Structures are given as C-alpha cells and as structure tokens.
C-alpha cells in the first residue's frame, strides 16, 4: 500500500511539474524559458530637418536561410528592440536547413506580413544574393518577388 501511495504521489508531482512548464495554445507547446518579456525599447532619435528618422535593420535571416529562428520570432525581436522597419533578407543560394524547411524565397515574408502591420512595423521585402563576380554579395530590398533573383544554372 505504501508503494502505491509513493508511486501515486510521484506521478502526481511529475505531471504537475510538467504542466507548470508549458502552455498549450492551438496545439502548440510553449515552454516558459522561450518566452520573452513583452517590453519594447524606446529609442529616441530626433527628427532631422523635418524628416522623421526610422530605426531599421535591413539584413536579417530566419530558418528559411541560415538564421536559427522562425520569422515570427524575428518580428518579436524587432518589436522589442524598438525598431520601426526591417527586411527579411533570406539567402537565395544558401539553405542549410533545406531538409527541414521547404525552400521558398518569399515564404518568410508571407508568414509575418499581417503581424508586422498589426504591430506597426514596416516590413520591407528583401533577399540576399551571392554571386561569384564582384560585388559578389549584396542585399536587394524593396523587391516584389525574391524568386526573380535565382540565377539560372
């Protein structure tokens, strides 16, 4: 009887600890250590000669090229760092995660376009191009379709 009580309370303790570590939202499990504080930096840069200065990052990557995060995480980083605009510039030629993430040169942008609008973040469509001839390596931003930069073999 004592063994059954120990087993029961042991299982109860384990299940309580496991459920304390995660939250289910629409079938997804989010662990607390992956949560970021909901705080936005306030970077104050004065207007210059009547022009509004925007804080931007036009060279970012996600798992759709050689980044380590999903596009929604990159958007959260941009928002929390106090930026006004950014571009996802996934590599055209380099896809180290292609066995895990389908190569689609426009998909990362498509995933977050609505969330960026909701959060008042300007999302610029872009890509990163690498060629063997000079200049060799550059970002193309304010584009319509990243697939247009694929070099024919």
Q: Give dist(CA 15, CA 9) in Å, integer.
A: 10
Predicted local confidence at residue 136, as pLDDT: 78
Predicted local confidence at residue 30, as pLDDT: 60
Q: Are 112 and 123 in contact (CB under 8 A)?
A: yes
**Of the candidates 152, 146, 151, which has an alpha carbon nearest to the alpha carbon of residue 61?**
146
Q: Give dist(CA 78, CA 97) in Å, integer.
A: 23
Mean pLDDT by 10 residues, the chain (153 residues): 68 56 56 67 92 96 93 94 96 88 91 95 94 82 90 62
Q: Is 51 helix (H, G, I), strand (E, B) or coil?
A: strand
């Amino acid at each position: 009887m004592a063994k059954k009580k120990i087993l029961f309370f042991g299982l109860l303790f384990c299940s309580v600890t496991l459920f304390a570590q995660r939250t289910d939202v629409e079938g997804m499990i989010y662990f607390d250590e992956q949560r970021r504080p909901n705080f936005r930096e306030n970077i104050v840069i004065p207007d210059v000669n009547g022009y509004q200065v925007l804080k931007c990052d036009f060279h970012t990557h996600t798992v759709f090229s050689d980044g380590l995060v999903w596009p929604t995480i990159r958007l959260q980083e941009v928002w929390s760092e106090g930026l006004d605009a950014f571009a996802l510039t996934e590599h055209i030629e380099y896809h180290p995660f292609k066995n895990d993430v389908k190569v689609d040169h426009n998909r990362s942008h498509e995933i977050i376009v609505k969330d960026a609008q909701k959060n008042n973040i300007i999302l610029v469509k872009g890509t990163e191009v690498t060629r063997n001839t000079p200049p060799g390596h550059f970002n193309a931003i304010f584009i319509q379709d990243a697939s247009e930069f694929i070099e024919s073999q």
